[in-house]
Structure 1
Amino acid sequence: MKNPNDSFIRGRIRSLKFAFKGAWLLLTTEDSIKVQFFVAIIATILGFYFQISNVEWMIQFLAIGVVLVAESLNTAVEKIADFVHPDFHVKIGFIKDIAAGAPTFAAIISLIIACIIYIPKFNLLF
């Protein structure tokens, strides 16, 4: 909630506090985010192990970020839908299924990016 007595800087700091609280809530309560975050850590470890290039790091972190953002927005849509209509409803189910498609697309593209980055590096090992 915006406090009318806050200065511009104080308002931004307050917004950051809420943003970090939201990220923490996602990481500590949502299984899908936990899984995606774990995969992101594995990808980061692989990046150090294979010494990927700066461009590969940028693309990898962009892909990780897109997946986490999509998963977060999907969670928000699901929570709102459940709040608005807690009982089963065909239209709410349709909305939630569509929202679930976003992180699915992001994860598939991230997997393709990971293959492009890491398959050549695994081939060098063998």
Structure 2
Amino acid sequence: MARENLLSNRIKGIGFALRGAWLLIRTESSIQIQIVIAVVMTIAGFVFNLSALEWIVQILAISLVLGVEGINTAIEKMSDFVHPEFNEKIGFIKDVSAGAVMFVSIGATIIGLLIYLPKII
């Protein structure tokens, strides 16, 4: 019985995660832009014949940007739900969350430059 519940809960959890990913893609312009960039970079990976290590690093960078962007969206939505009107502390929290996305995006851009610039030049 416990094993069935564990499997059933995992399957439900995957369903919730897929629903959340779909909600992000459908409703958040920042995620939509990141998805387009991810598709372009994936096509570029095939065009430039990336090595296995380059693929791993690129996939990790893309996943990290999308994941942190999703967490940022969740923090913003939760903040707006908890405190709908302007609040300086909530604003600070949202700014810090956006800053985390910026750090990851800068890192992913640097990774992309390190992978592709030598191939282009």
Smaller-chain TM-score bracket: over 0.9
Report sequence identity in percent: 50
Residues paired across the two proteins, number: 118
Query: Structure 1: which 4+ aligned runs deviate by more than 4 Å?
Result: none
Q: Match for residue 12 of structure 2?
A: 14
Counterpart residue identity of residue 12, structure 1: R
Aligned residue identity for 1:34: Q
Aligned residue for 2:67? 69
Q: Any idea what SS the aligned residue of 1:7 has? A: helix
For each residue in 1:11-66, what CA deviation from the matched residue of structure 2 results, as whole angstroms up to 9, or x when unmatched?
11011000000000000000010011110111000000000100000000000000
Aligned ranges 1:1-126 → 2 under 5 Å:
7-123=5-121
Which 5+ residue runs of structure 1 have no aligned equivalent?
A: 1-5
Q: Which ranges in structure 2 are unaligned for 5 or more consecutive residues?
A: none
Secondary structure of 2:97's counterpart equals: helix
Aligned to 1:3: none
Give the deviation of 1:7 after TM superposition: 1.3
What secondary structure does 2:42 align onto?
helix
Tell me the TM-score normalized by structure 2: 0.95
Aligned partner of residue 84 in structure 2, secondary structure:
coil
- Matched residues in 2 for 1:57 and 1:100: separation? 27
